[in-house]
Amino acid sequence: MKGKYTFTKDEHSITLYKKVKVKDEQSKNFGQETNKLIGHYSNVESAIKKLVHLELIESGTIKELLLDLKQVNQDVSKLIEDTLKESK
């Protein structure tokens, strides 16, 4: 998960982006990595909720969903810890 998303912030909002590769063969940036806008959030909690939502499986059993949720929560927690360490 680390390195898959980026954030920007200002005094009004937090903006979440997902890193993706340009797949349009007609694009001059074909194959290059770019940031796709996911959304703007008024607080960290909302941004993290969206991040968890993006990382959950889209289908499957309840058991698979719960196991995936557990893993995503661990991944998000680690991302937060690593980001806090880097900012010091």
pLDDT per residue as tens digits for the range 33-44: 999 999 999 988
Closest CA to 4 of 84, 85, 81, 76: 76
Check pLDDT > 60 for residue 18. yes
Q: What is the DSSP letter of 28?
A: T
Q: Which residues pair with 85 in a beta bridge?
A: none
Per residue in 24-81, pLDDT (tens digit) is 999 999 999 999 999 999 988 888 888 878 877 556 677 777 787 788 788 888 877 8
Model pTM score:
0.63
